[in-house]
Each structure stands twice: as C-alpha cells, then as structure tokens.
Copies of this chain bind each other. A is one copy, B any other.
C-alpha cells in the first residue's frame, strides 16, 4: 500500500474524526455481530471501520464511531458507505451482485468480489464449481420440477436433502423429506413460491468440521486448525478447536482443500469451508464440502481467545492485502459455545447471568453482541481454553447454557 492508496484523507460522509490519518478505512456492509467483532480488531490495529447499518442500535452500530444508516440493497446507500474507504467488505453475503459489479466498475475495492461471493450465495453454483475442481461434494441435482426431484429420490435411495439455492441460513432452507410424496409436495410448494431449489444426497454424518482459511488479493493463504462444529437444530451450537481425533493426514488434506478452494474461487478475506465427515465404503473417514462462507464465521469465534490471530483481525488484514498473521493456537484446546435465545427469556437479567457464570468459571470468555432476546437468536458466545477437551467442553457448554436459561442444568 502506498500513501496514495489510502484514500481516507477526506472522508466525505459519516464521521471524519473516527479515522486516524494515514490508516486504512474499511467499509463494512452489515450491522451484525461479525461487523461488531471486526470493530474490536480494527481498534487495536489503529484502523477504522465505517459500518453500513440498518439501525443505529444494531449490534455493530452500537460500538462504531462512523455509522451510515441505509439499506445494503440500495446502490445510493452503498455509495455513501464506501465513499473515501480503502476497501469494502461484508458481514453477510446478501448484497446484490449487480451492485457489486457496478461498484467495482466505478473503482471501489470490493473484497471478496462478486465472482467469489456467488459461491457463498448460491448452493447450486457452488456445488457445480466444486465438482469441476474435483473437490468432494455429495451427489446433487438442480431441481426445476417435481420430476427432477422424484428421479433424484430414486437415484439416492430416498436419502434426500432438499435445499433452497439462496437465502438459507441456520438450517432454514434445508429439508429432509422422508417419502417421495412428501418431497414432491414440498418441491411443488416451494417452486410455486418462487424458491429455486437443489437436492443433495443425505450424508450419514459422523460429525461436521469447519476448515477456515484467509486469503489476500495477492494470493497468500493462511489456514487455522480444522475444528469440529456441532450443530443443533441446524444452528452451530459449539466448535472444538482443534477437531478432536482428526488424523494428521485428514487435517492436512482438509486444510489443503480449503486453501485450494480459496485460491480457485478467488476468495479474499476469511473463508469458512463447512464439511461433513462420514465413512467411506472401507469404513475410513471421508469428507464432503457442505457450505462456504466468505467472511468471519461462527466456527471461527474460538480464534478470539485461543489463537494468536483472530479471524476478525485476519479478515481485515486479508482484505487489505496485508501480510497474514500467525494461526498458532494458545492452548491445547479451545471450545466455543453459542448463546442462543431461549424460547422464553429468563427473569434473571443477562448482566447477572454473566456474573453467575464467572463465579463458577473465572476463565470463561463471554462475548455478547448487544442484541435483545429472541428465541433461537445468536446473542453471544463463550470461549474457553484449556488442556482437556472433555473438561473444557463441559465448562463452555455449561456456561452458555447458564447464559441462555439462567440455570446450571
């Protein structure tokens, strides 16, 4: 980066006082907890963010000094958000591709770019691309009509997973019909409602893994240790780093796969490759790619407390084409447990629940997102480092459980 590249000398919108002279300004599209935690990384690096937020009191806007209120589907709002910024990046993958192309044509530095991002937006596009690359994905098919679905049902012996191509998250947009009839009805209803679909073979999961890597526009990559991620009701509930009992060979293959995907797809910033571990015909562990995310990811939150370089710092470094940081771990094991809103919010206020957790576990690293309660909503997470995976896991899960339910059960 030369001084010329740092275009922040006269930020025309927002709060100019929020940006230290000569240091890069990163425009982050989206106001959730990922943008919030990018802010903590940016502060320590002496950089600064401008957040495009939907609301002044959103998770990220609460903690940022330069907030542009607007809509990420509106090109004018995007223009205001990126004015004077060195680079634009994302807290989610929902910015329309045509807007990204227009911004790039206008000279905006968009990281990751739309050609990479489409693989995190469209499950079918991603699978086709990965299959081309020879990356392992379960058998899949585009579903354009009921006949496609029925044919696929037979081809996979009824082991079907139906997915909305776009817009799914946290298991929304994923269905497991048990009969051909159920599948046919589902497909008819969803296609009728305008939901583009694909089907994939339902894999007999041993467990789920996540391989995270960062990549710069110059093509440098740096991987973290592969983690085991535990999903409950389609939502990430915990992550254990490194993944217990993963052979060195599989660890290496998986990291190499993530690095290859990042390179081949031209990903910049942090890439999460969500994977299934299953058993092959010989009873040996085998992996399949399930999903890509091109931003910091829930399965990488452990890096905040268990790793020399957190995924939030690394994302900022990567999109700015800076040298990447060390991904050495700081402890034999780190466990992350999500805090998801319960069906009803316990009477005990969250601020008191924290105290209860800390009384029992002085080593619990509690991260809260400044979000109000909603059932199932991600409102925080707990990280815990230690020596013994079973012990650390129990403590992290108990802590998260207390924060959710105000009880130790």
Contact = CB atoms under 8 A, between A and B. Distances in A.
Interface of A: 1-3, 6, 15-24, 36-37, 39-40, 43-46, 48, 55-57, 61-65, 67, 222, 304-305, 308-309, 317, 322-326, 328, 330-331, 349-352, 354-355, 358-359, 362-363, 365-372, 380, 385
A402 to B, nearest CB: 13
A194 to B, nearest CB: 36
B324 A21 contact: no
A222 to B, nearest CB: 8
B363 A20 contact: no
Nearest to A3: B349
B23 A351 contact: yes
B370 A46 contact: yes
A152 B144 CA distance: 95
A2 B347 CA distance: 11
Contact of A351 (B22, B43, B358): B22
Number of copies: 2
The 4 closest A-B pairs by CB, nearest first: A46-B368, A20-B370, A17-B56, A323-B358
B325 A363 contact: yes
A195 B24 CA distance: 44
Nearest to A348: B3
A325 to B, nearest CB: 6
Nearest to A331: B330
A352 B222 CA distance: 20
Nearest to A5: B351
B330 A368 contact: no
Contacts of A24: 351
A43 B39 contact: yes
A392 to B, nearest CB: 12
A394 B355 CA distance: 40
B1 A370 contact: no
Nearest to A61: B17
A44 B37 contact: yes
Nearest to A41: B40
A380 B36 contact: no
Contacts of A22: 349-351
B385 A20 contact: no
Task: Name, among A20, A24, A326, A352, the residue most crowded by chain B CB atoms within 10 Å (CB to CB).
Answer: A20
